[in-house]
Amino acid sequence: MNSLMLNTDGVQIPQLGFGVWQIPNDQAEQAVRTAFEVGYRHIDTAAAYGNEEGVGRAVRSAGLPREKVFVTTKLWNGDHGRAEQAFDESLARLGLDYVDLFLIHWPVPRQDKYVQAWKALEKIYRDGRAKAIGTSNFTVQTLTRLMDETDITPSINQIELHPYLQQREMRAFHEANGILTEAWSPLGQGKGLLDDPALRVLSDKYGKTPAQIVLRWHLQLGNVVIPKSATPSRIAENFKVFDFILDTEDMAAIGALNQGKRIGPDPDTFNMT
């Protein structure tokens, strides 16, 4: 497992993580246990997912040293004005003393409280209750404002990113500012991407599934990537991406698939609270 260095006091994040979006709370514990057995050490949850309790039970009962497990959770949109209290509630649901990474889930531009929320995250970080802090679904515009009006640059920005939406401008902006890129929906949510003929060709060439090809592409780009599945065989399959390397021509072939095609909401207009 490769880890990447965050811009925060030497904190490292495992590059391949396990996402639990849409996994019900009563199933999350077993799914995370399975992920740990496979070898994952990075778990990504959120208050909005409603499964922090199940994730926390799995982390606490895994028999792994706490410092060997990287836990991310996120601040929901309606809690921007009460970020410290919402963080404490997440920590209580997880049953942990700290999280490794705490993110603002969406900027919610119409609400216009994300700078206020970030200042609360800065305090949470300084208090040692989150080892690192970052953002999710922020754009060049919202990240620029955040950095201009606050003290700490986000360590990571988690964005929708897959071969059909490659986010080159965002990735370049992140790199220029020392921010890691983390990909959600890295496999395109099963909505046609994995049936793309170009990926089928590479699947045959490398003897890997299309999902494994796409995850390897993410890793070689330098993205942190968090595939999600509740199926044990798929959880294991998604982890088997460290025993091959895509050559330059094949990386370019995947790069040519970009359509600028979003599956999830547009961060500029998503204002759900």
1: pLDDT strictly greater than 80: no
For range 22-50, the mean pLDDT: 97
For range 208-222, the mean pLDDT: 98
Number of Cβ within 10 Å of residue 76's Cβ equals 20
For range 100-113, the mean pLDDT: 98
- List the domains of the chain with CATH numbers: 3-255 (3.20.20.100)
How many Cα atoms sit within 13 Å of 141 on the Cβ side? 6
Place of tokens 């649901």: 93
3-class SS at 193? helix
Please confirm, yes or no, whether 49 is among the known catalytic residues. Answer: yes
The one-letter amino acid code at 103 reads L
Do residues 27 and 252 touch, judged by C-beta distance below 8 A? Answer: no
Give the integer Cα–Cα distance in Å for 256 and 68: 37
Choose the catalytic residue: 49, 114, 125, 164: 49
* Residues 131-187: tens digit of each pLDDT: 999 999 999 999 999 999 999 999 999 999 999 999 999 999 999 999 999 999 999
Q: How confident is the model at residue 124 (pLDDT cuts 50, 70, 90)?
A: very high
Place of tokens 């049953």: 95
% of the chain at pLDDT higher than 90? 97
Give the integer Cα–Cα distance in Å for 37 and 14: 16
Do residues 167 and 258 touch, judged by C-beta distance below 8 A? Answer: no
Q: Where are the beta strands (DSSP E) in the chain?
A: 3-5, 12-14, 18-19, 42-44, 70-75, 101-104, 133-136, 156-160, 180-184, 224-225
What mean pLDDT is reported for the chain?
A: 97
Q: pTM for the whole thing?
A: 0.97
